[in-house]
Structure 1
Amino acid sequence: MRFVTLAAIATAALVQPAFARDVSVAVTAIVEHPALDAVRDGVKEALAEAGFKEGEGLTFTYQSAQGNPGTAAQIARQFVGEGPDVIVPISTPSAQAVVSATRDIPVVFSAVTDPVGAQLVKDMEKPGGNVTGLSDLSPVGDHVALIKEIVPSVKTIGVLFNPGETNSVTLVDLLKKRSAEAGIAVVESAATRSSEVQNAARALVGRVDAIYVPTDNTIVSALESAIGVAQESKIPLFTADTDSVARGAIAALGFNYFDVGKQTGAVVVKILNGEKPADIPVAVATGTDLVVNTGAAKKIGLDLPKAVLDRASKVIE
């Protein structure tokens, strides 16, 4: 299967609207945390660069479901009732809610790990219908390699995730596969809501050499709970989300989610300028940043390898 490259859509953000008119874009996310907020802000920036500016013909609406799938469904129904020109759901749960609510309004999802597995589209290259968007499938194999480089003695990785998030199930399956190839075992610990994250992290203490947090919205929304447990237990915690490193993770190799938002916004611009979602292939995000936190490493007595520091896009002290 051939995925469209982002270069093919990036120029859309620079295309001015064909004619002046009022348009409306409704954006929703399953929860508020730095990565998803950055996607939202990137979408708005891309729209502004293309001439669709809030207060100057653009109505830009945003709502968070605060981690509640039921609320996500309510927001989806509300947006459909309001009839915006485009709906932009950020994250898999929000995208599933919106796609279930409309067959007519154009939908451009973002930060969705596995659009086909989540049943948002049947084919990445030919999505058909009213839905297209951007996938942020993590380079999980590279994550395992990074963990092994920083913690050479690692034999077991603990993964925190919400089994109710389709995206997380996909990523955990990938983690198991890539870890097995590297001779590393994986221990799962589940949390279905943010209040359960701390106990899920505690369940890994004494059982794992490192903790890994994928792009799971439930876990990331309560990341400090897991980081507190990891630091107290001197266990290095790694994430797939680079915005989480500033919150106390040791390192992350992932996307700049503001850029992901701009790439998503480029697709929205194409639709506002007359293209059909059915004709726009689902794009897969490219470009990864390596962010490390030397301060967090020092707290658990871990020295980061010079090779890692030398190639880091950003070092947080």
Structure 2
Amino acid sequence: MKWRGLIALFGVAAVVSPCAAYAQKGALPTIGYLGFDSADKSKDLLVAFRDGLRTKGLVEGQNVTIEYRFADGRYDRFPELIADLIQDRVRVIVAATGTNGVLATTKATKTIPIVFAIAMDPVLLGVVSSLNRPGGNATGVSMYTPQLTAKRLELLAELTPGGGTIAMLVNPTNPNANVVVSDAEAAAKSLGRQIHVLKASTDEQISAAFGEIRNRKHAALLVSPDAFYIARREQLAALCEQYRIPATYEWSFFVKSGGLMSYSPRITDVQRQLADYTAKILSGARPADLPIEQPTRFELAINIKTAKNIGLTIPPYLLARADEVIE
């Protein structure tokens, strides 16, 4: 009986996960979560991330701890925040930051595992060697596809059938800028429309860009993917309403903040994907061996109230296609 008890004991110990082992020793593994926005504006994302961890058996405060750092929409804060996480000896850094934050994180450490979400081809940026075998200390979710930009432009064209130039707001400090502009120009050409690129990386430049949109009487606005713009989504929505400009955005939370329309992957799905990677790494997997994933579900969100405020009628067929309608 004693031998059977010992065998049973060791059998149980053999299947205890690394995270559970840490909990037994009293030293919980720590996840470093780096966000591009403020803590307050990131609540929904964090709920999805923690839910994703929970489905993998990881519960904050029980068998894992999380150190949070938020850039408040400022790229220049990333190096300092990343250094803090490295000093805290986190087991993995989740860079839910967009391109600039991911590049800053991969530059800061070549040893700590990194899980990222990026709206660009990570191979093209040099973040990983290949999508199937990243090969370094970083892996994650790539949300880049030229079809996303084309779809957002197509939606604007449907809302402005009378034609006219479509303005495109681009942050020139974003490494993705040239690629996104190239995608937009190709898509606009196929639609028989013109694109006018307006560069803005400060609040003052955003205001100036909207003045130019008004003066040139542009038909609509495409806001390119960028963490700086995400952090200023209320400001962008207010300016679009002030100048009565229909606009499409990257994420549905733009629409929840007063923006007209978005077409994107489901951001909560992306957060759960990040949680899945994190759990695998804490259980011993190497980022180098974990293939880059891409979203499989996309959603169209439309704000009816905003449409009314700018004097725009959304076609019924477009409303029928929407996954989320805010009234």
- Would the TM-score normalized by the shorter structure come out above 0.5? yes
The one of 282, 292, 300 equivalent to 1:282 is 292
Alpha-carbon displacement from aligned partner over 1:94-152 (angstroms, at most 9, x marks no partner) = 11111001111100011442322332113222210111011122511111211112221
Change in CA separation of 1:34 and 1:114 when aligned onto 2, cut-off 3 Å: farther
Stretches of structure 2 that go unaligned for 5 or more consecutive residues are 1-15, 23-27
The DSSP-based 3-state class of the residue aligned with 1:117 is: helix
The one of 288, 295, 306 equivalent to 2:316 is 306
Alpha-carbon displacement from aligned partner over 1:247-277 (angstroms, at most 9, x marks no partner) = 2222111122111100111111111111110
More helix by share: 2
Number of equivalences: 302
What letter matches 2:150 in structure 1? G
CA distance in 2, matches of 1:85, 1:73: 18
Alpha-carbon displacement from aligned partner over 1:31-79 (angstroms, at most 9, x marks no partner) = 3388865444322221122111111021101111223333201111222
Change in CA separation of 1:215 and 1:127 when aligned onto 2, cut-off 3 Å: same
Match of 1:9 in 2: none
CA distance in 2, matches of 1:35, 1:160: 22
Alpha-carbon displacement from aligned partner over 1:132-175 (angstroms, at most 9, x marks no partner) = 01112251111121111222123311111211012344322211
CA distance in 2, matches of 1:220, 1:168: 15
Change in CA separation of 1:165 and 1:34 when aligned onto 2, cut-off 3 Å: farther
Match of 1:234 in 2: 244
Match of 1:296 in 2: 306
Match of 1:148 in 2: 157
Q: CA deviation at 1:195?
A: 4.7
Change in CA separation of 1:173 and 1:38 when aligned onto 2, cut-off 3 Å: farther
State the superposition RMSD in angstroms. Answer: 2.1
Contact 1:121 1:127 (C-alpha < 8 Å) held by counterparts: yes
The one of 231, 234, 239 equivalent to 1:221 is 231
Identity %: 26
| Larger gyration radius, structure 1 or structure 2 | 2
CA distance in 2, matches of 1:133, 1:196: 32
Contact 2:18 2:282 (C-alpha < 8 Å) held by counterparts: no
Contact 1:242 1:255 (C-alpha < 8 Å) held by counterparts: no
Match of 2:69 in 1: 63
Stretches of structure 1 that go unaligned for 5 or more consecutive residues are 1-15
The DSSP-based 3-state class of the residue aligned with 2:300 is: strand
The equivalences for 1:1-40 within 5 A come to 17=17, 20=20, 21=22, 22-32=28-38, 38-40=44-46
Contact 1:23 1:59 (C-alpha < 8 Å) held by counterparts: yes
Q: Does 1:212 align with 2:222?
A: yes
CA distance in 2, matches of 1:290, 1:89: 25
The one of 134, 150, 173 equivalent to 1:127 is 134
Match of 2:253 in 1: 243
Q: CA deviation at 1:284?
A: 1.2
CA distance in 2, matches of 1:199, 1:305: 31
What letter matches 1:200 in structure 2? A
CA distance in 2, matches of 1:205, 1:223: 19
Q: Does 1:106 align with 2:116?
A: no
- After TM superposition, the score normalised by the length of structure 1 is 0.88
Change in CA separation of 1:106 and 1:218 when aligned onto 2, cut-off 3 Å: same
The structure showing larger relative contact order (alpha-carbon pairs under 8 Å, at least 6 residues apart) is 1
Q: Does 1:175 align with 2:175?
A: no
Change in CA separation of 1:70 and 1:298 when aligned onto 2, cut-off 3 Å: closer
Contact 1:168 1:216 (C-alpha < 8 Å) held by counterparts: no
Contact 1:160 1:219 (C-alpha < 8 Å) held by counterparts: no
- After TM superposition, the score normalised by the length of structure 2 is 0.86
Q: Does 1:254 align with 2:264?
A: yes
Q: CA deviation at 1:19?
A: 5.5
Change in CA separation of 1:145 and 1:33 when aligned onto 2, cut-off 3 Å: farther
What letter matches 1:75 in structure 2? L
The DSSP-based 3-state class of the residue aligned with 2:214 is: coil
